[in-house]
Chains A and B, each alone.
Chain A
Amino acid sequence: MSFIVAFLWSYVLWLVLTAGSEGMLWSTEELVAGVLFSAVVAFATRNLIGEKAGRFLNPVKWAGFVIYAIGPLFWGMVRANFDVAYRVITGKIKPGIVRVPVELENDAQYTLLSNSITLTPGTLTIDACPEEKALYVHWINVTEREPKDSSVVAGSFEKWARWLGR
């Protein structure tokens, strides 16, 4: 199963890289070579990509990733950039590291939430501790020293990360 996931994952990148080899599409030899090279790469990384990576083959989840990327994540980045520009101009900052408790179960969820928090300026994930179910976030303007959940730092990102990484 994880071989198939690694194979498809690398074959899609191969198709992206070699698009346009015959008109706008792919020539037969590129397609065959892609299968061969992807099979080699997938065989080499079959134990690496994880047993449960097959859950990301779900098309509903792909749509979820696209919606998340152009919806909440992009909007959060735009808003947070203006907020940081305001803080750069006025100098009203109050930096600090806060511990944010989160309700996540697996690695993918922690990665999605941590990267989303780091991508939105003003907050930066320093450490993710799955054993104590918490993230340590460096925050440019601490308004709450001990937040009860991640909504003050990350808005709706935790809900999305919980769904997308499930």
Chain B
Amino acid sequence: MSEERGMGIIVETIARATIPLIGIFGAYVVSHGHLTPGGGFQGGATIAGAGILFLIAFGLGEMKQHYNKNLYSILEGLGGLAFLGMAMLGIGVAFFYNTLWHNGPIFNGRPGTLLSAGYLPVMNIAVGLKVFAGLVSAMVAIASYRRWGK
């Protein structure tokens, strides 16, 4: 299948080096969503960009060997559940009550540090996970959908 091969030696080598960097930069954007510009969606889309770079640089054939539909489906559901779980934590007062910030054991540090802002960092990670898994799944599904040449 000619469409399933990658883009050549230079693109593949650069992709090998940059995909971990894109991943960790996306993780930085996600985990500092309460401190710096960005957040769950932006960081998740960045990490999904790394996945799409893998898909384009190495081709669909290689992607199919490393992509597990059930795993990504579970990750996306897990992200949504973690978001809901954080929203339910303060249900004794109200839905979305930020109990971690007001009296909860962690995530109530001095504002401006990493472990502050209550449930926000956890929710950002949940949204980032969901967006990453969803976008990568969508792109793999679109790339696999082929009736063009047949």
| With known contacts A33-B31, A110-B10, A114-B10, A41–B23 Cβ distance under 8 A | yes
Other A-B pairs, 16, CB within 8 Å; known A47-B66, A48-B16, A107-B9:
A17-B28, A18-B32, A21-B113, A29-B109, A29-B115, A33-B31, A37-B24, A38-B24, A40-B27, A41-B24, A49-B16, A49-B17, A53-B16, A114-B10, A115-B10, A128-B8
The residue from B19, B24, B54 contacting A13, defined by CB atoms under 8 A apart: B24
Q: Is there an interface contact between B12 and A107, defined as CB atoms closer than 8 Å?
A: yes
A-B contact pairs, 10 of them (CB 8 A): A9-B17, A10-B21, A11-B24, A21-B113, A33-B31, A45-B19, A47-B66, A48-B16, A127-B8, A128-B9
Q: Is there an interface contact between A110 and B9, defined as CB atoms closer than 8 Å?
A: yes
Produce 1/0 per residue, A19-44, CB < 8 A to B. 00100000101100100011011101
In the complex, whether A50 has a CB less than 8 A from a CB of chain B is yes
**Which chain A residues in 125-154 approach chain B with CB under 8 Å?**
125, 127-128, 130
Q: Is there an interface contact between B28 and A48, defined as CB atoms closer than 8 Å?
A: no
Please report B residues at the A interface, Cβ cutoff 8 Å. 8-10, 12-17, 19-21, 23-25, 27-28, 31-32, 54, 66, 109, 113-115
Specify which chain A residues have a CB less than 8 angstroms from the CB of B54 in the assembled complex. Answer: 48
In the complex, whether A156 has a CB less than 8 A from a CB of chain B is no
The residue from A14, A29, A110 contacting B24, defined by CB atoms under 8 A apart: A14
Cβ of A18 to closest chain B Cβ, rounded Å = 7
Cα of A53 to Cα of B15 in the assembled complex, Å: 13
Cα of A103 to Cα of B113 in the assembled complex, Å: 52
In the complex, whether A100 has a CB less than 8 A from a CB of chain B is no
